Structure 1
C-alpha cells in the first residue's frame, strides 16, 4: 500500500513538473503558432528562419494568462496519472498472485530469457492498456482544457462540468475520442522497446564485462526513446482526434478539418507532411512550402 502511494506521489510530482512542456506541445500539435518565425542560427551556424521554441512559447502563454496559465488542464491530468498508476499496479499484482497460486509454482523450470521477455511484455501491455482505457476520459478533458487557449474559450472550465458537457454533446463515445491510435501507439512502443532491448542485450553486448553490464542498464532507455520516436504519429493523431470537432476553435477550421476517423486524420497529416508536428520543441524549422498567416496564427 505504501509502495503504491509513493508511486502515485512520484507520478504526480513528475506530472506537475512536465505540465508546461505538455501544454506547449499540445498547442504546437494542433498547429497554433502565436509567434511569427524569427531569423536565427541552426546547429551548424547558418542563418535560418525558426519558429519559437519551448521557452519563447511558454513566455507568450505567461504573458497572456500569467504563470498559472501554464498549468491549464493540470487537475484532470493529475487524476489520470493517479488512477492510471493504481490500475497499472493492480493488474500486475493480480498476475503475480495468479502465478504464485498455481500448483507447483516454486518447482517450475526456469524459462528462457526470450520467453521471460515475452511474458513480461504481454503482462505490461495488458496493464498499460487497462490504465489507458480507464483514464482516457481524463486525458480528453486535459487536452480540451489546453486547446481552449487558442479561442479563449471557457467551455471546459472544470473537470466535473467537462464530464457533463462531453456526455451531453457527444455521449459516452466522446470520452474515448482518439483512444484507438493512443492504444496502438502505446502497444507498438512497448513491444519495440522491449524487443530491441532484448536483441541488443543478447546479441550486441558481451556478458561478463562490467562496462557492458552498465550499457545493458541503459539499453532500455535508449530503445524506449527510439520506439517513442517511431510511434510519435500515433500520439499526434490521438491528440488531434480528442479535440477534433468538439466545439473549440482549436478543433475546427482553419486549424483542423472535421476528420471522419483517425485513419482519415492520419492520411491528411501524411499528405501535408505534418506527421512529426510538435515532436521537437527546439530548433523548430519553418515548414517548407508554407507561409505564415498572422491573422490565423498558423501555417498554410
Structure 2
C-alpha cells in the first residue's frame, strides 16, 4: 500500500494489486524487501502500546489513591467517570506523538530499494538501514507532524520577531551566470 501511493509521485504503475505487489517485491528484493521498515514500525508500536498502558495504569492508580472511591456520592462517581474518559482520550493522544517518528522512518524504509522515482535522488537518498534514515531525517523535521496542535515547520518562509515574513535563501535554487 505504501509503495502504491509512492508510485504516484513519479506517475508510475509498477505496483498494482496487493498479491501481485507482494509477489513482485519478493521476486525483485527478496525477504528484505518484504520486511523493510518493519523494525521501526514495531519499535513505534511497542512505545505506543506499552506507554499508553503504563500511563493509563498510573492514572487509574492515581484515581484510586486519591480516595475518590471512598466517597459514596453521585458527584464523586461522575467525577471518577469523567476522569477515566479524559485519561482514555488524552493519554493515547499524547503517547502517539512519541511513536510518530518511528512511523515516518518505517514509511521511508518501506519505499527504499523499490526502484520507484521517489526512492532515488533527488527525492530521497538511499539508506542502508533505518538508523541512517533516522539520522538523515532528524535535522529535517522528523517529529514535525507528531503533534496535532502547535506544529512547527522550518521552511522557506518564516515569521520574524517583528511579525514580518522572511524568506530563507537556502531553500531556493539560485544560479549565477558570469558573462
TM class, shorter-chain normalised? 0.7 to 0.9
Does 2:135 match 1:276?
no
Normalised to the residue count of structure 1, the TM-score between the two structures is 0.46
2:2 maps to which of 132, 136, 143? 143
What displacement does 1:174 show? 1.1
TM-score, normalised via structure 2 length:
0.75
Which 4+ residue blocks in structure 1 deviate beyond 4 angstroms?
A: 280-284
Structure with higher Rg: it is: 2
Structure 2: unaligned runs, 5 residues or longer: 70-75, 157-167, 174-179
Deviations 1:183-241 (CA, angstroms, capped at 9, x unpaired): 01101111111111111222257433221222113312211111110121100100100
1:226 pairs, out of 94, 100, 104, with 94
Unaligned runs of 5+ in 1: 1-141, 294-300
The alpha-carbon distance between structure 1 residues 172 and 247, as it changes in their structure 2 partners (threshold 3 A), is same
TM-aligned CA deviation for residue 162 of structure 1: 0.8
Q: CA RMSD in A?
A: 2.3
CA shift, 1:280, in A, is: 6.0
The equivalent residue for 1:186 is 45
Q: Number of aligned pairs?
A: 151
Distance verdict in 2 for CA 1:280–1:213, change over 3 Å: closer
> How far apart in 2 are the matches of 1:222 and 1:187?
18
How far apart are residue 281 of structure 1 and its match? 8.1
Alignment deviations for residues 224-268 of structure 1 (CA, whole Å, 9 cap, x no partner): 111110121100100100001211111111121100100111111
CA contact (8 A) 1:194 1:220 kept: no
Residue of structure 1 in register with 2:171 after alignment: 291
Report the equivalent of 1:198: 57
Give 1:247's match in structure 2, choosing from 115, 126, 134: 115
Deviation of the 1:182 alpha carbon: 0.4
Q: Structure 1: how far apart are the matches of 2:126 and 2:143?
A: 20
1:163/1:261 Cα in 2 relative to 1: closer, same or farther (>3 Å)? Answer: same
Measure the CA separation in 1 of the matches of 2:26 and 2:45: 26
Aligned to 1:85: none
SS of alignment partner, residue 113 of structure 2: coil
Correspondence 1:167 to 2:167: no
